[in-house]
Structure 1
């Protein structure tokens, strides 16, 4: 009986130890533009893009729907994927920022194939160029 309890404990410990690695499905990166408070979100397996930024409570709205609203502190504006920003072929994706201080977009790179896209917010969605090498 003690042997099976020990085996169960070891098995449960291994599962719990592996859980954080499996849970890391998103990557986040701030836009390199120094006066833009935007953060990009990437699904590392599918390449799907999104972005959010802070907005003042007054006069906010439009297609960039607020994920959270509190009139005292402002609003979180989030932009869904648009043209080219949706799911790509299953692979391993990462985000890279340029070092250009006026660049509002980021590079979505496929680390398996070496292809890259430039992604940025346009008309309330995150759009990306066609992947290229």
Structure 2
């Protein structure tokens, strides 16, 4: 059986593919809540992909490469410290931000994902 840390690690490693859309389709459910605290919250696969589509259109973010700095779990909850690197379609870097996240799992699916970063993290990353 796959552990919660393994599931979250696989999800984060796969997030670089197709701007995170493939990972969301694989590990989210129609009820998954993705809360970028202070920025936006989505429910389900289609809303999450819509959020990603909006970032691509408004900021040119084609993908996010996630570097795991620290990870820990208790039961079905996984805490992460990450460096998220925002990239254009040509692979050039737009910006990066360090943040904390928590994932709550239901079996092998992510039931909830909350990220905590500076409220202006995306605009600050793009300005660097």
Larger Rg: 1 or 2?
Answer: 1
Asked which structure has the greater RCO (Cα within 8 Å, sep 6+), the reply is 2
TM-score by length of 1: 0.36
Bigger share in strand: 2
TM-score by length of 2: 0.37
